[in-house]
Amino acid sequence: MSITMDIHEVLEHLPHRYPFLLIDRVLDVVPNESIVALKNVTMNEPFFPGHYPHHPVMPGVLIIEAMAQAAALLSFKSMGTKPDTNSVYYFVGIDNARFKRPVSPGDQLILKVAITMNRRGISKFKGTAEVDGQIAAEAELICTLRDK
């Protein structure tokens, strides 16, 4: 079963808000398997004035954070639940992060994340961030849902 999510549903499943919400739309979710999400990168992003003002580049850590937010959406859709005020979905680890090309204003970042392991409340994911079919970044992510 394939699912899409507009911004309203994304907001129901992620606690993040501007300026830290890094997912604009979900193009495809297959629960317990994978997600494809979209981030429109605009010059209005709050980090561009200070991150190379003469050559704006999206910070790599925010690209990885966007992948982690996609992983959280995949997890909530897989569990058939939404976040609540008593728990937090934490990004707890990253392995093998690589940055292959810069992401600039006007780019459409396509985030592809797949579950590789889910045991005892810890989930591992393999993620890529692409622009125009080229890999901009890739990483393995580790996340967990914890009570506050």
Q: Which amino acid is at 110?
A: I
What single letter denotes the amino acid at residue 135? I
Which entry of 16, 51, 54, 55 is annotated as an active-site residue?
A: 51
Question: Does 51 qualify as catalytic in the annotation?
Answer: yes
| Residues in CB range of 103: below 8 A, 6 or more apart | 41, 57, 58, 63, 109, 129, 131, 136, 137
> CA 121, CA 88: separation in Å to the nearest integer?
12
Name residue 114's beta-bridge partners.
34, 126
Which positions ≥6 away from 131 have C-beta within 8 Å? 101, 103, 107, 108, 109, 110
- CA distance linking residue 148 with residue 133, whole number of Å: 39
State the catalytic residues.
Answer: 51
